[in-house]
Amino acid sequence: MSLKLVETVRVEPKDVCFPPPGDRDLQTGFYRGGYAEHPKWSGWIIELFNRALAFFLILACLPLFVAIGLAVKWKVGGAIFYRGTRMGLGKKPFYMYKFRTLPMGTQRDLGSAMVSEKKLALSPFVRLLRDTRLDELPQLFNILTGDMDFVGPRPMRPEIYEAVCGSIPNFDLRFSVRPGLIGFSQLFTPHSTPKRLRAIIDNRFILIKRKFYWDIFIVFYTGAVLLKAIVVKSSMIFYRCIIQEKILKIYREKRRFERMTPENSSIFFVCPRKEAEGGSIVSRLIDINEAFCKIDTNCGLDNAEFQFYIMRRLKAKNKRGFKRKKAQCVGVIYKEFINEADVLKYSYVIEYKAISPFNNYIIEKYFLRKSII
């Protein structure tokens, strides 16, 4: 049964108007206002830091470049590197480099559409490169040539800018600074976050005074977080694909998406349903991935499309108690299990869709934990 989205009011962040940045020289990249409100000598220090660190990392990562390049050639096939046009400082186009993780011609076929991992069958190796951002390593050469900085808003594809971003208020503010290897919004939000929300986060950082020690902190903190992710994810892949499957000969269930088990999560139904056991409805989210979620509940569900909320209580508190995040979805029953011995005797695997891009952002950030930080 295919899912269709219900008609609903989209919940989007409010437009935020920012003051225009101060006078700036698009040739040098140093400005007198907002993000670049610093003495000119400080700007040269940041530039020297960017290029020196990029040169050092290229030398230090040469063995890693060779290993990833050979693996890409073996697993993906075709060219090792992807070269795509991006908009940089003052909307000046430049070529950005990455290790290629998608088939040849994918960008040409996509046009102005965003890459959706839900529609792509990615191998564990490709997912490792994309999740840990190892595919972005060749952009060290873009930093060395001066097209990018270590810290700044992520470079934009011209097709996406024309189709999606040109109408977003103050989106062009990002072109007053060089794009970065580490994007502000990239750190705190998943890849599929609505561009309007990402623009708000990027602009907040662009308009603050840039400080040298802040760039150093962001670079090394992000590096430490990604290094931990590389160790954890590569260890899991090695155990599942080599130890479990090849050596121990244990059957490994080949799922398209990795399941996550978020803590303190529950389900709230907003649709007609069967009688609940005991009169009160109790539901618990067991696990979730990009397309399906598994729940336990004491009420039976009708085999028809229904609406529900996925809710999670966070550890952080405010004046009204624990913070909660919820996302509204529509779903249909994919599988049903009944365990008479359990209080929550009904178990369902539900195929679901978020009702809007903002609700999908909530799911990917707080339930699937797809953001870097």
pLDDT tens digits, 125-149: 888 898 889 999 999 999 999 999 9
Q: Is 119's pLDDT higher than 70?
A: no
Q: Is 28's pLDDT higher than 70?
A: no
Ranges of each domain in the chain: 34-240, 265-367
345: helix, coil or strand? Answer: coil
Tokens 């609505």 locate to 194
| Local structure of residue 272 (DSSP, 8 states) | -
Per-residue exposure over 154-173, b if at least 16 CB sit within 10 Å of its own CB, e if not? bbbbeebbeebbeebebbeb
- The confidence score (pLDDT) of residue 26 equals 42
Tokens 């934009």 locate to 156
- The confidence score (pLDDT) of residue 116 equals 59
- The confidence score (pLDDT) of residue 15 equals 42
Of residues 40 and 71, more confidence is placed in 71
pTM of the model as a whole: 0.80
Q: Is 39's pLDDT higher than 80?
A: no
Percent of the chain with pLDDT over 70: 77
Of residues 367 and 44, more confidence is placed in 367
Torsion, Cα 33 39 42 48, to 10 degrees, reads 80
Mean pLDDT (the chain, rounded): 81
Q: Is 52's pLDDT higher than 90?
A: yes
Tokens 């059957």 locate to 251
- The confidence score (pLDDT) of residue 362 equals 93
Sign of the dihedral defined by the CA atoms of residues 315, 316, 317, 322, in that order: negative
Residues in Cβ contact with 279 at an 8 Å cutoff, skipping those fewer than 6 apart = none
Q: Is 328's pLDDT higher than 90?
A: yes
Q: How confident is the model at residue 8 (pLDDT cuts 50, 70, 90)?
A: very low
Of residues 6 and 371, more confidence is placed in 371
For the ranges 7-16, 109-118, 136-145, 165-174, the maximum mean pLDDT occurs at 136-145
Which range among 41-45, 348-352, 366-370 shows the weakest confidence by mean pLDDT?
41-45
Which range among 10-24, 192-206, 336-350 shows the weakest confidence by mean pLDDT?
10-24
Alpha carbons 334 and 352: distance in angstroms, whole number: 9
327 burial level (CB within 10 Å; 0-12, 13-18, 19+): buried
Q: Is 339's pLDDT higher than 50?
A: yes
Residues 156-178 have pLDDT tens digits of 999 889 888 878 888 999 998 89
Helix axes 40-60, 62-75, angle to 10 degrees: 60
- CA 30, 208, 34: angle at the middle one, nearest 5? 40
- Enter the tokens of residue 160: 């996406």
Three-state SS string over 182-245 comes to ECHHHHHCCCCCCHHHHHHHHHHHHCCCCCHHHHHHHHHHHHHHHHHHHHHHHHHHHHHHHHHH
- The confidence score (pLDDT) of residue 340 equals 78
Of residues 70 and 107, more confidence is placed in 70
Q: Is 269's pLDDT higher than 80?
A: yes
Which range among 86-95, 273-282, 341-350 shows the weakest confidence by mean pLDDT?
273-282
| 43-51 mean pLDDT | 85
| 300-304 mean pLDDT | 81
CATH fold, domain 265-367, is: Thrombin, subunit H (2.40.10)
- The confidence score (pLDDT) of residue 13 equals 41
